[in-house]
Structure 1
Amino acid sequence: MKIEDLLSEQFIVLQLELTTKSQVIEEMLSIVAEHPGVKDHDKLRQDVLKREKEMSTGIGKQIALPHAKTDAVSSPVLALATLKNEINFESIDNEPVQLIFLLATPEEMLAEHLKLLSRITRLAGQEEIRERLVHAESTKDVMELFEEEEKDFPQI
């Protein structure tokens, strides 16, 4: 399972104008509201917010990765957004965030969940890729970037 297999243009939003962490999480949840893998949007929201309360998902290097293992989804759900302006996300490196991924996987997919978190972190953690994502002009550009960068990665 590759990022490009899970992500589609309809779940990518570029240059959002938001100012708070809570706005970002709510917007990410609204982006996936009509995702075919989402069975229970309210439960998904609860589980993502519960995980966020445990520890910020601001993982550093301008990236936030709100996520949940939840029975609110029937298959992996992935969304991506870039922010027009950096915001405080209480990141582990105390740096503001400009790139957001939302990942939700069924509870029984723990191994895949961890592998996807790792893959997202590894790819987006590379400065050149992060810069290309933050400055992408179209959702098509984002998808092409993942196709290009993942061509040599093994399937999960």
Structure 2
Amino acid sequence: MKIESLLSDRYIALNLELGTKNQVIDAMLSIVDGHAGIRDNDLLRHDVLRREQEMSTGIGKNIALPHAKTAAVTQPVLAIATLKKELNFDSIDNEPVRIIFLLATPEEMLAEHLKLLGRITRLAGRADFRQRLIGATAATEVLDLFREEEKDFPQI
């Protein structure tokens, strides 16, 4: 399973104008609302917020990765957003964020969940990749970026 196979233009939002961490999480959950893999939106919200309370998912390098292993989904669910302005997300490096990934996977898909988290952080950890993502003006550019970057990656 590649990141680009989980995405469609419907789950990509660019240059959002948001002011708080809670607004970002709410916006990400709104982006995936109606996704075929979500069976319980309220539980998904609860589990993402619970995970965020355990430790910030601001993973550094201007990236936030709210995520959950949850019974709220029947398949992996992924959304991506960029922010127009940097935002404090209580990141581990104390830097603001501009790129947000929301990932939710079924509880029984622990290995896949960890592999997807690793792949996202590996790709987004590269400065050139982040710049291209932030500079994207259309969802198709984001899809093409992941397709190009993952062409030589094995399936998860």
> Is TM more than 0.5 here?
yes
Q: Report the Cα distance in structure 1 between the residues aligned to 2:8 and 2:36, rounded to whole angstroms.
A: 12
SS at match of 2:89: coil
Corresponding residue of 1:141: 141
Corresponding residue of 2:62: 62
Corresponding residue of 1:128: 128
Does 2:92 correspond to 1:71? Answer: no
Q: Report the Cα distance in structure 1 between the residues aligned to 2:39 and 2:132, rounded to whole angstroms.
A: 33
Corresponding letter in the other structure for 1:9: D
Corresponding residue of 1:81: 81
Q: Report the Cα distance in structure 2 between the residues aligned to 1:36 and 1:130, rounded to whole angstroms.
A: 28
For residue 76 of structure 1, report the CA deviation from its aligned partner: 0.2
Corresponding letter in the other structure for 2:68: A
User: What stretches of structure 1 of length at least 5 have no aligned partner?
Assistant: none
- Which digits, 9 at most, give the CA deviation of each residue in 1:21-71, with x for residues without a partner? 000000000100111101000000000000000000000000000000000
The runs of 4+ residues in structure 1 deviating greater than 2 Å are none
For residue 15 of structure 1, report the CA deviation from its aligned partner: 0.2
Query: What is the count of residue pairs matched by the alignment?
Result: 156
For residue 5 of structure 1, report the CA deviation from its aligned partner: 0.5
Q: Report the Cα distance in structure 1 between the residues aligned to 2:14 and 2:36, rounded to whole angstroms.
A: 21
Corresponding residue of 1:92: 92
Q: Report the Cα distance in structure 2 between the residues aligned to 1:43 and 1:149, rounded to whole angstroms.
A: 33
Q: Report the Cα distance in structure 1 between the residues aligned to 2:69 and 2:128, rounded to whole angstroms.
A: 29
User: What stretches of structure 2 of length at least 5 have no aligned partner?
Assistant: none
The CA RMSD over aligned residues, in Å, is 0.3
Q: Report the Cα distance in structure 1 between the residues aligned to 2:125 and 2:37, rounded to whole angstroms.
A: 27
Corresponding letter in the other structure for 1:87: L
For residue 128 of structure 1, report the CA deviation from its aligned partner: 0.2
For residue 134 of structure 1, report the CA deviation from its aligned partner: 0.6
Q: Report the Cα distance in structure 1 between the residues aligned to 2:7 and 2:63, rounded to whole angstroms.
A: 17
For residue 144 of structure 1, report the CA deviation from its aligned partner: 0.2
Corresponding residue of 1:14: 14
